[in-house]
Chain A
Amino acid sequence: MSLEMNHVYYTYQEGSPAESHALQDICLNINEGEFLGIVGHTGSGKSTLIQHLNGLLKPSKGEVLIDDIDINRKDAKAQRKERRMRVGLVFQYPEYQLFEETVELDIGFGPRSMGLSEAEVTSRVQEAMALMQLDYNALRKQSPFDLSGGQKRKVAIAGVLAMKPKYLVLDEPTAGLDPMGREEFLELLGQLHQQGMTIIMVSHSMDDMARYAQRMIVMDHGKIQLEGTPREIFAQPVKLRELGLDVPTLTKLLLELKQRGLDVRTDLFEPQAVKAEIMRALKAGKEQVTC
């Protein structure tokens, strides 16, 4: 069971002089239970790619499979719709999609349009709010527009979670949040992942990626340029900078130290490992000096 993209091409305004190839020959396999990070500078095709994952955009060429069913094939419409529901897509600044009078109604919009019974909708709203650590009893009757920015975002994401997607796709979910909100939010995502949800996250922040992603793809000009574990990706700082990106802050620190003559490994990014490595290098350096 997986999300699969086979040789997907997507062209904006095909046939006109303004034609642009947003995606070119994308082959991607996202396994169930994975935490995949997608990075790339603005305009590299990240957002176009994730919109293919639940059929909002149809590939100009190639196919997108959700659990082995091609979601753009003409036959079996109901089945395709059900498959698409398995992928929950959270757009950038999702709080802009809130529209209902109360938090409860807004979160219930997704499940309700899936045609579930009211009792089922309510239980799903409760579940989703619990996942997002929102207090059901305190917030259900409130207008979503009266909430703080961070809470609005949580409500918006709960609205997607209430549809019980197997795969959760998030586009820059921490953009515009304050450091505390950001931290809290990433924690939540990490927990969702531990509970077995497949998470696909688009982000500019290499630090976030370093902490949570199990596998990363780096996009540029509509193509997948690099693919691998964060360690493999961050071991290529030159290539990353060529693509308009950077390495995590701590890796940057190691690179800087190395440049100034301290003999350290530069393929680390976890705080503990980096600390240990610097300590080790310092100690080794001292011994050399004393020799």
Chain B
Amino acid sequence: MLKDITIGQYLPGSSFLHKLDPRTKIIAVAVYMISLFVVNNFWGLGAMLVLSLAIVLISRIPLRFFFRGIKAIVFIVLLTVILQMFMTPGEPLVELGFLKITKEGVHQAVFMGTRLVLLVSVTSILTLTTTPIALTDGIENLLKPFQKIGVPAHELAMMMTIALRFIPTLVEETDKIMKAQSARGADFESGNLLERAKAMIPLLVPLFLNAIKRADELALAMEARCYHGGDGRTRMKALQYSGRDAIAGVCCLCMAAGAFLTRFI
């Protein structure tokens, strides 16, 4: 069950999108989100759909990764669509007792459903084409200007990096401890809620203990290598904008401008 999580999954590749600077990608995703919610007619939405498909194709990531991501939010999308369909007041199309589907409702439902699916697909492209390290580097860099008003940019980025780094380790360890305790007769699968909660103790105690121990060791290892926070720290892979980012930037501007213009069609 734990291995189905696709958030933060990275798929190595050498497409145009893989090579973009992470900062460009983060900003582009933000612009994309705004554009997606700015468009309010079917022409605009259609254009966004085509654009999103183009991005997906450029990323050269197998389509099933997107389907998997969408499968995870299928429930939310359905709920949104249904609620929008029935709850929007307006000109009724079909009436079933007290429930009625309105023209405006269908319109809203199609919009919200499409927006959600596109949003998830395109944001997952961000993580699928960017290594977690590059991503946190990008975030740190973008947050730098806000350091003056007290945003701990480096610390946030470091925390994110470490958290991402240890997810697979913890998953593996959970699996190992669960097996070890099952071998001693622990039962994680049956019983009522209280019994199940109690059955988690043999799992959680060693897990937390090891996590704390590991954090201690990590802190020591970092200190041993003279880690002292972000000040004056240089990077092995300094972020550098290139021609590609200029192209992507222009495309982004066009998209945003186009999105605003569609409101006047």
Instruction: State the A residues within 8 Å of B (CB).
Output: 51, 54, 56, 85, 88-89, 91, 94, 96-99, 109-110, 113-114, 145, 159-160, 163
26 interchain pairs, CB-CB under 8 A: A51-B179, A56-B179, A56-B182, A56-B183, A85-B185, A88-B183, A91-B183, A94-B180, A96-B180, A96-B210, A97-B180, A97-B184, A97-B202, A97-B206, A98-B206, A99-B206, A99-B209, A109-B184, A109-B185, A109-B202, A110-B184, A113-B184, A113-B186, A159-B184, A160-B183, A160-B184
Task: Say whether chain B's binding surface is mostly helix, strand, loop, or mixed.
Answer: helix
Bound Cα distance from A97 to B176, whole angstroms: 9
Instruction: Give every chain B residue within 8 A of A159 (Cβ-Cβ).
Output: 184
Is B201 interfacial (CB-CB < 8 Å)? Answer: yes
Closest A residue, CB atoms, query B182: A56
Closest A residue, CB atoms, query B210: A96
User: How near does chain A come to B1, taking the closest CB pair, in angstroms?
Assistant: 14
Task: Say whether chain A's binding surface is mostly helix, strand, loop, or mixed.
Answer: helix
Is B181 interfacial (CB-CB < 8 Å)? Answer: yes
Is B177 interfacial (CB-CB < 8 Å)? Answer: yes
Instruction: Give every chain A residue within 8 A of B205 (Cβ-Cβ).
Output: 99
Closest B residue, CB atoms, query A17: B62
Is B91 interfacial (CB-CB < 8 Å)? Answer: no
Contact present for A96 and B184 (CB under 8 Å): no
Closest A residue, CB atoms, query B173: A96
User: How near does chain A come to B143, taking the closest CB pair, in angstroms?
Assistant: 35
Is B187 interfacial (CB-CB < 8 Å)? Answer: yes
Contact present for A114 and B179 (CB under 8 Å): no
Instruction: Give every chain A residue within 8 A of B209 (Cβ-Cβ).
Output: 99, 145
Bound Cα distance from A51 to B179, whole angstroms: 9
Bound Cα distance from A130 to B184, whole angstroms: 19
Instruction: Give every chain A residue within 8 A of B180 (Cβ-Cβ).
Output: 89, 91, 94, 96-97
Interface residues of B in 59-98 (CB under 8 A from A): none
Instruction: Give every chain A residue within 8 A of B181 (Cβ-Cβ).
Output: 97
Closest B residue, CB atoms, query A107: B184
Bound Cα distance from A97 to B209, whole angstroms: 10
Instruction: Give every chain B residue within 8 A of A114 (Cβ-Cβ).
Output: 185
Contact present for B202 and A54 (CB under 8 Å): no
User: How near does chain B come to A20, taking the closest CB pair, in angstroms?
Assistant: 14
Bound Cα distance from A163 to B176, whole angstroms: 20
Contact present for A91 and B202 (CB under 8 Å): no
User: How near does chain B come to A194, taking the closest CB pair, in angstroms?
Assistant: 24
